[in-house]
């Protein structure tokens, strides 16, 4: 199991120049990086990989940023735009030596509203239809698409582990698995540990976030059963801190971060990693 950091805590958008952050992440003891790619043209994947290799960091995941115009249940144009975007991320993941693309790979974030049962069925069919060819392409490239349920305030499509598993199984590809996040689960799941166990071998990515989207382990969450559940299913993927800060204005607004969670964003990363080592009983690297 590796511990990673999502760069949204420090910058948006992530560009080739953002590799200047890598020495700090390595110094703090992170194993992997999670890079949100808001637009593929923002990075030169070969240069980013070279920088990660230089500092002994693995690029464990690319975060799909499903912004306006990227919607597998939207207009035909939005579906095509989303498909082209994800396909490009798959190509970049290969160059980056990155095994996973993660996030809400189904609809634009922020689309919420009540739908009839017929509309829900139509949306689900559209997402499956769009994901199937992408799954086939990802499989051919050795990349896994990890589908993340979000909370009800960020999407009306996929909120729970059960819904995520239904989508994963409907696509029916070994290249499509599940991604769970403690922040979203804290809102939507009756029991986080039970959800993790239900996901079982289909769980391929995990976000460790505080209940206030701050420091994991410095919040109200009972982490012991969550860690125990991950160990019980022999989870071997990355555990990534995805927290946000008022310092990165565009992300703060998107994630509704209206106040400072900790004195500094460095504390979220450093103390969060320390807490993960303590909670998981992992040996801290020197």
Contact yes or no for 165/194 (Cβ under 8 A): no
Task: Return the structure tokens found at 106.
Answer: 């189904």
Per residue in 145-171, pLDDT (tens digit) is 999 999 999 999 999 999 999 999 999
CA–CA distance, 159 with 23 (Å, rounded to integer): 36
Nearest Cα to Cα of residue 244 among 269, 278, 279: 269
pLDDT at residue 4 above 60?
yes
- Reported CATH class of domain 2-280: alpha beta
Residue 242: the pLDDT is 95
Q: Which of 38, 148, 154, 189 is catalytic?
A: 148
- The number of angstroms, rounded, from the C-alpha of 52 to the middle of its chain's C-alpha atoms is 19
Residue 38 CB neighbours (<10 A): 18
Per residue in 81-110, pLDDT (tens digit) is 999 999 999 999 999 999 999 999 999 999
Long-range contacts of the stretch 200-203 (C-beta < 8 A, 24+) = 200/233, 201/233, 202/165, 202/168, 202/177, 202/178, 203/177, 203/178, 203/179, 203/233, 203/235, 203/237
Helices 161-171 and 117-141: angle between axes, nearest 10 degrees: 60
Residue 283: the pLDDT is 63
For the chain, domain boundaries: 2-280
For the chain, how far is it from start to end, CA to CA, in angstroms?
A: 17
pLDDT at residue 286 above 60?
no
Task: Return the structure tokens found at 140.
Answer: 């051919």
- The number of angstroms, rounded, from the C-alpha of 242 to the middle of its chain's C-alpha atoms is 8
Range 190-218 burial, b when 16+ CB lie within 10 A, else e: eebbebbbbbeebbbbbbbbbebbbbbbb
Rounded percentage of the chain residues whose pLDDT exceeds 90:
89
pLDDT at residue 261 above 90?
no
Residue 262: the pLDDT is 84
242 classed as catalytic:
yes
pLDDT at residue 284 above 70?
no
Query: How large is the average pLDDT for residues 28-52?
Result: 98
Q: Cα-flanking dihedrals φ and ψ of residue 110, to 5°? A: 100, -5
pLDDT at residue 130 above 90?
yes
| DSSP symbol at 244 | -
pLDDT at residue 7 above 90?
yes
Per residue in 56-79, pLDDT (tens digit) is 999 999 999 999 999 999 999 999
* Number of residues that this document lists for the chain: 286
Q: Which of 188, 189, 242, 262 is catalytic?
A: 242
Residue with the larger pLDDT of the pair 262 and 224: 224
Residue 125 CB neighbours (<10 A): 12
The whole-model pTM stands at 0.96
Q: What is the mean pLDDT of the chain?
A: 95
Nearest Cα to Cα of residue 251 among 206, 205, 213, 207: 213
Residue 183: the pLDDT is 96
Residue 230 CB neighbours (<10 A): 23
Contact yes or no for 121/166 (Cβ under 8 A): no
């Amino acid at each position: 199991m590796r511990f990673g950091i999502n760069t949204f805590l420090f910058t948006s958008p992530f560009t080739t120049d953002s590799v200047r952050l890598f020495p700090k992440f390595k110094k703090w003891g992170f194993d992997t990086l999670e890079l949100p790619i808001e637009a593929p043209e923002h990075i030169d994947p070969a240069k980013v990989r070279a920088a990660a290799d230089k500092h002994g960091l693995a690029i464990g995941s690319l975060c799909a940023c499903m912004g306006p115009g990227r919607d597998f249940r939207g207009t035909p144009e939005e579906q095509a735009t989303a498909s082209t975007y994800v396909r490009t991320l798959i190509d970049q993941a290969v160059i980056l030596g990155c095994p996973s693309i993660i996030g809400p790979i189904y609809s634009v974030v922020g689309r919420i509203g009540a739908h009839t049962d017929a509309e829900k069925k139509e949306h689900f069919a559209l997402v499956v239809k769009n994901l199937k060819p992408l799954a086939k392409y990802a499989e051919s490239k050795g990349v896994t698409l990890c589908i993340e349920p979000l909370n009800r305030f960020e999407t009306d499509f996929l909120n729970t582990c059960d819904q995520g598993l239904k989508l994963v199984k409907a696509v029916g590809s070994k290249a499509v698995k599940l991604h769970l996040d403690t922040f979203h689960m804290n809102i939507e799941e009756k029991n986080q540990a039970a959800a993790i166990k239900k996901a079982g071998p289909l769980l391929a990515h995990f976000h460790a976030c505080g209940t206030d989207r701050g420091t994991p382990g410095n919040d109200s969450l009972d982490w012991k059963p969550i860690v125990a559940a991950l160990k019980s299913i022999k989870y071997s993927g990355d555990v990534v801190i995805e927290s946000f800060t008022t310092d990165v204005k565009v992300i703060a607004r998107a994630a509704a971060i209206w106040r400072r969670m900790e004195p500094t964003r460095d504390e979220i990363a450093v103390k969060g990693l320390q807490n993960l080592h303590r909670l998981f009983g992992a040996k801290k690297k020197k």
